[in-house]
Amino acid sequence: MRRLTLRQFRVFEAVARHLSFTRAAEELHLSQPAVSMQVRGIEKILGLPLTEQFGKKIFLTEAGREVLYASQSITARLDDLQANLAQLRGMDSGQLNIAVTTTVSAVATTILASFRGKHPKVSIHLDVSNRESVLGLLAANRIDLAIMGQVPEGLDLQATRFMDNPLVVIAPPDHPLARKKKVSIQDLASAPFLVRETGSGTRGAMERWFADKGMEILTSMEMSSNEAIKQAVQAGLGLGILSLQTLEQELALKRLAVVAVEGFPIMRHWYIVHRSDKRLSPVAQAFKSFVLEAAR
């Protein structure tokens, strides 16, 4: 019986991740027929279809999901092996794979720059994405560590808090509420808010805070990034609630102002996170220790 190859596993994993032969081919720098041939080769060996197509969409069959689970486990073990062997040649020759949520990207890049200054030969791969995507990367074991805000319960993750993350209400400097020394919650009742997408930790904290006060947010627009919200607030399209740590430049240049709302800031926290079953490489462990020591 023919055996499956590592190449086939890596190709199929890309197809399963994108649910697209075309996008998998682009990621792997292969032609689409080459990707299709690799997947058909696995199906021929196993005697089972791995994908099925309805209209223009591709879905994994039950056999496909089993192969994906096996391929993720195998490739992750091989990646760990390569990283650990690299560490035996000296810690600074290893690679750090990390993902951060968009809200924490400014903080994370500062931390990474400091770490890189101490370990200049470490190769760093950084993914900046929304919360759901970062959780997906952790679930697929494609990263060593993540830095994020709210960590959901029920997932097999180890999360260590290392820094406070205050959320504040922002407005243009000439907004009537920005000029008041004290703003009541009732003053916000009719104010339109620009919010992050559903699933965002910032939006979740914001909605919970207002719900606890018996109020519902008047949403004027939903946006997928903090930068978009900053620009929209500057343009006068509504108020926003963002991490104070992401506003340093805009506040210094007086492009935005923090509104003095009673009960604010909403205090959240940053966490460094990894899978509970993840065996951290020496480089990943060194970075985690660096973050916690820097916070202390």
Query: Could you tell me which residues are beta bridge partners of residue 12?
Result: none
Q: What is the rounded CA–CA span in Å between residue 105 and residue 89? A: 31
Annotate 230-272 with DSSP letters as a single string.
HHHHHTTS-EEEEEGGG-HHHHHTTS-EEE-BTTPPEEEEEEE
Give span(s): CATH 1.10.10.10, the chain: 6-73
Task: Tell me if 114 sits within 8 A of 122, measured CB to CB.
Answer: no
Task: Tell me if 201 sits within 8 A of 148, measured CB to CB.
Answer: yes
User: Cα 263 from chain centroid?
Assistant: 28
- Give the CATH number of domain 6-73: 1.10.10.10
Give span(s): CATH 3.40.190.10, the chain: 91-163+270-295, 165-267
* Integer angstrom CA distances of residue 37 from 41, 75, 231, 235: 6, 20, 47, 51
CB neighbour class for 228 (10 Å; exposed up to 12, middle 13-18, buried from 19): middle
Task: Please name which of 289, 141, 145, 172 lies closest in space to residue 237, comparing C-alpha atoms.
Answer: 172
The 10 Å CB-count burial string (b at 16+, else e) for 172-206 is beebebbeeeebeeeebeebebbbbeeebbbbbbb
Task: Please name which of 205, 209, 203 lies closest in space to residue 225, comparing C-alpha atoms.
Answer: 203
Residue 91 confidence (pLDDT): 55
Per-residue pLDDT of the chain (296 residues; tens, 9 = 90+): 578 888 888 899 999 999 999 999 998 888 999 999 999 999 999 999 999 988 888 899 999 999 998 888 887 887 777 766 666 555 566 788 999 988 788 788 888 988 988 888 888 999 988 888 899 999 888 999 999 887 877 788 999 998 888 999 999 999 999 989 899 888 888 889 999 888 788 888 888 998 898 888 888 888 888 889 999 999 999 999 998 988 888 999 999 999 999 989 999 888 999 999 888 888 898 899 999 987 76
Residue 197 confidence (pLDDT): 85
Structure tokens that stand for 217 in this block: 């947010």
Strands 157-171 and 257-259: antiparallel
60 contacts: CB under 8 Å, gap ≥ 6: 16, 19, 50, 51, 68
Residue 238 confidence (pLDDT): 92
pTM above the 0.75 mark?
no
Query: Could you tell me which residues are beta bridge partners of residue 163?
Result: 270
Structure tokens that stand for 180 in this block: 């008041």
Residue 229 confidence (pLDDT): 92
Give the homologous superfamily in CATH for domain 165-267: Periplasmic binding protein-like II (3.40.190.10)
8 contacts: CB under 8 Å, gap ≥ 6: 38, 39, 41, 42
- Give the Cβ contact number of residue 87 at 10 Å: 19
The CATH number fitting domain 91-163+270-295, selected from 3.40.50.740, 3.40.190.10, 3.40.250.10, 3.30.870.10 = 3.40.190.10
